Structure 1
C-alpha cells in the first residue's frame, strides 16, 4: 500500500463510491483496507437492521462502535435482547422498533441517553405513556399501528415530549380528532413536521383543525404564527375528511404530501386545488393516486421546485398545463398512470428544461425517448424505478448508452423500492 503513495483520505474518498458488497470485499483483502473501510465517514447515515440481537458476538458490536453506527432497526426483540442492545450501543441516536410484543422491553428507553429519533411500528405497547415519557429529549417520534394502546394513551404520551419537531401519527384505527390536534399544537410548540394517516371511517374535521390561533390556551407565539408547521403529510386520505378551507392561512407550510387511499373520479369534490391556491409558497409537493392531474394542474404554486406524482392519472394536456405553472421545476418523481402515446417522457426536455433530478420507470418507454433525456442539460441524477433483471439486461445496456451520450454527466441509479429502513411503510404505498 505504501508503494501507491496515496494518502488515506484519498482511499476513503474512493471507497465511498462502492456498494456495500464491494466494501466488504475490499475490507477482507488486507488489514490496511479493513481499517479504512471501518472509518466512521464511510458509514455516516448508515442504518443497521438487527433481528436476533443475542446472536452477535463481541467483535460485531466492537465493529459497530468503531464505525460509530448510531441508527438501528430492531425486529422482534424481547427484554433480554433490549438490555443487551442498551449495554452494547448506549449512544444510539435513531431507533426503529418493528413487531415487538414484549411490553417490558420499552422500559429500557431510558438507557439511550442520546436518543433523538424513535419510530415504533406494528408493536404491542399497552404502557406507551410511561415508556415514551422516559425519553423526553426526543425530537422525532413515529407511531404506526401500535396495538393495545388506546388513543388517549397515545396522545397523552406524545404531548409529554415537548421537544418534538417531527411527529408521525399513523394510527388509522384510532383516527385523530379535532381535540387531539388541539392538544398536539398546544403541547408541542416546536413541531415543524406532522404526518397523519386517516381512518377509512374518519368523520370530517372542522375548518380550524390546523389553525393554532383557534386553539384555546395555546401560547401567544403560536397564535402569532411563530410556531407552526412547515411540512404536512396526509396519508390514506379521501375527501371530504378535510374541508376546502382546512389549510387556509397556513402560510408557514413549505412541503405538502397527499397520499389518497384510491383513485377518485369526481373532480368536483377535489379540495386539493383549493388548498394549493391558499399555499402560494410551498416548494415541495407530493401527490399519490387521487384525482386526474387535470383537476388541480392549474393550481400548482409556481414556487414548487420538487414534485412527485405517483399513480396519478394524467394525459399530455394536463402535464403541459402543469408545466406552464412550474417551468423552474428541478426535481421530478414521475410515475403516472397513463396509456397515452406518444409517451410523456418524450415531452420532458421541452416541458421542464431545468430538471436536475428525475425519477421514472423504464417499463414500456422506447429507448429513443430514454436517450432523449440527454437534452435536459441540467439533469445530473436519473433514478430508474424498475429493478435490474440481470447483469446483461437491456436496462444496463441503455444506461451505458446514456452515460456515453452525456459524457457521464448524468448519474443513473437503479432502484426497485424505498431504501430508508427507518421510514414508515405507510408512506411507500400508493
Structure 2
C-alpha cells in the first residue's frame, strides 16, 4: 500500500473537507503529519467555533494550534477580565465572541479585539452597570446579543447606548420583563442598517402606532427601516395594520407566543395580512393552525409549525403556500398521521425537519416521493432500550432509525442527506 506520506497534501485536504468538526479533530490526533496538514489549512476551519472554560488548563501548544487554524469564533464560559486578556494575546483576530456566565460587572477588555464584529453576552451571574464598554467597538460591531443579562441602568440609557452602535445589522435583547421600552422607533431610527431584530415582548399588551415607526417614516417605501428578519418572544400584544406599515420589507417572521392557551383574538392574522411578501414564517404556541391557515401568504417558502394542528389544517396550508421549500413540522399532537401527507401536500420541499418516533416505517420511507428533498433532519434521535425502564435513555439514533435512514438513502440513490443531531452555532441564543 502507498504510504500516507507519499500521497499529495492536496488530496488529503480534499478528503478532510468532507469531515465534520469532530472527525477533523479525531484525525488530527492520529499522527503529526495529519496534525500539521489540518492546522495549516485555514479553509478547513472556516466557520469553526471553540468553547473554552477554565483557561488555566490550556497550554501553549493548545493556543498555538488554535492560532494556526485562525479560529475566529469563541464561546468563553465563566470568564473573567484576565481571561479576555489571555484570549486577545493568542487570538487577536477574533471576530465573534460569546460570554456565558460572565463574572464581572463590566467587559472593558473587549476593546483589545480590534476585529471583533459579533458579541453575545448571556446568563451573567453579576449585573452589568451598562453597556458603555461596547462604545470602543461602535465602528466595527455588526451583531449584538444580550440574553438573560441583568442591567442596572435605566431602560432609556440602554436604548440610547444601543442607538450609538450604528453599524449593527443584528440585535437581540431577551430579558425577564424587568426592562420596559415604550417603543422601538428611537432605536430603529438610528440603526439604519439593522436587518435582524429579536426582542422580548412580555411587557407589551398593545403596540402603539409608532412602535416600529422611524422618525422619518412617510409611508410605504418611505423611511429608512431595512428590517427583513423579526423574532418576537413571549408575544401576546394587540396590533393593527397601521402599526405594521413600516415593516413592508419584512421577509422572515418568528413568533414565540407567551401563552400555550391563547386569548380570544388571534393577533397573528393581522401580521399575516399586513406582510404579503413574507417568505419565512415560524410559529411556536398560540392559537391552533386552523385559526390563521387561511391567512398564510402565497409567497411563503419556509414554514415552521410548533402548534396544535390537524391534517385538514395542513391541507389548507398547502393550498395557501403552494411553493413551500422548507418545512419544520413539530405539532403538539402526534405527527404520525401527518408525515404520510407531506409528499402530496408539499411536493417542492427541499428540507424537512420532523420527529419520527410515532411515524410508521412505511410513512417514513414514503418521503422518497419528495423528488426535490435534499436534507432531512430527525429531531428525536434518541431511544429507550428497555421499555420497562423509562429513565434509561440513549441519546443517539436507535437501530430502527439507522435502518430507516439506510433504506431511505438507498431508495433515493443517496440524494437525501439525513441529519440526526443539530449542531447549533455556539453564539446563537438558546431561547429560540
**Taking structure 2 as the reference length, what is the TM-score of the superposition?**
0.90
CA contact 2:351–2:374 (8 Å) conserved in 1: yes
Match of 1:381 in 2: 375
1:420 alignment partner, one of 386, 410, 425 = 425
Give me the whole-angstrom Cα distance separating, in 2, the residues matched to 1:374 and 1:414: 17
Give me the whole-angstrom Cα distance separating, in 1, the residues matched to 2:217 and 2:398: 62
Alignment of 1:236-247 (within 5 A): 236-240=234-238, 242-243=239-240, 245-247=242-244
Offset of 1:47 from its aligned partner? 1.0
CA contact 1:245–1:275 (8 Å) conserved in 2: no
Classify the secondary structure of the residue corresponding to 1:232. strand
2:315 alignment partner, one of 320, 339, 345 = 320
Classify the secondary structure of the residue corresponding to 2:248. coil
1:301-321 alpha-carbon deviations (Å, 9 max, x no partner): 1111111112x0000111000
CA contact 1:249–1:278 (8 Å) conserved in 2: no
Classify the secondary structure of the residue corresponding to 2:250. coil
Give me the whole-angstrom Cα distance separating, in 1, the residues matched to 2:114 and 2:273: 44
RMSD between superposed Cα atoms in Å:
2.3
Give me the whole-angstrom Cα distance separating, in 1, the residues matched to 2:4 and 2:42: 25
Alignment of 1:299-338 (within 5 A): 299-310=295-306, 312-338=307-333
Give me the whole-angstrom Cα distance separating, in 2, the residues matched to 1:322 and 1:387: 27
Alignment of 1:47-126 (within 5 A): 47-104=49-106, 106-123=107-124, 124-126=126-128
Match of 2:390 in 1: none
Match of 1:406 in 2: 412
Match of 1:233 in 2: 231
| 1:418/1:19 CA distance change after superposition, 3 Å | closer
Moved more, 348-357 or 255-264: 255-264
Classify the secondary structure of the residue corresponding to 1:73. strand
Alignment of 1:137-286 (within 5 A): 137-150=140-153, 151-179=155-183, 181-199=184-202, 201-212=203-214, 215=215, 218=216, 224-240=222-238, 242-243=239-240, 245-266=242-263, 268-286=264-282
Offset of 1:10 from its aligned partner? 3.2
Give me the whole-angstrom Cα distance separating, in 2, the residues matched to 1:272 and 1:411: 34
Give me the whole-angstrom Cα distance separating, in 2, the residues matched to 1:67 and 1:48: 11
Give me the whole-angstrom Cα distance separating, in 2, the residues matched to 1:13 and 1:222: 50
Alignment of 1:341-352 (within 5 A): 343-352=337-346
Give me the whole-angstrom Cα distance separating, in 2, the residues matched to 1:131 and 1:223: 36
Give me the whole-angstrom Cα distance separating, in 1, the residues matched to 2:54 and 2:285: 38
Classify the secondary structure of the residue corresponding to 1:185. helix
1:379-425 alpha-carbon deviations (Å, 9 max, x no partner): 0100001124457621111111111111111000102x562211111
Give me the whole-angstrom Cα distance separating, in 2, the residues matched to 1:272 and 1:221: 22
Offset of 1:166 from its aligned partner? 0.9
1:213-233 alpha-carbon deviations (Å, 9 max, x no partner): xx3xx4889982344211111
CA contact 1:54–1:84 (8 Å) conserved in 2: no
Offset of 1:270 from its aligned partner? 0.6
Give me the whole-angstrom Cα distance separating, in 2, the residues matched to 1:391 and 1:259: 29
Classify the secondary structure of the residue corresponding to 1:189. coil
| 1:274/1:391 CA distance change after superposition, 3 Å | closer
Give me the whole-angstrom Cα distance separating, in 1, the residues matched to 2:83 and 2:66: 16
Offset of 1:245 from its aligned partner? 4.4
Gaps of at least 5 residues in structure 1 are: none
Aligned residues: 415
CA contact 2:207–2:237 (8 Å) conserved in 1: no
| 1:243/1:171 CA distance change after superposition, 3 Å | farther
Gaps of at least 5 residues in structure 2 are: 383-393
CA contact 2:217–2:223 (8 Å) conserved in 1: no
**Taking structure 1 as the reference length, what is the TM-score of the superposition?**
0.90
Give me the whole-angstrom Cα distance separating, in 2, the residues matched to 1:345 and 1:47: 35
Matched, 1:15 2:16: yes
Classify the secondary structure of the residue corresponding to 2:157. helix
1:42-76 alpha-carbon deviations (Å, 9 max, x no partner): 21111111111222111111111111100001111
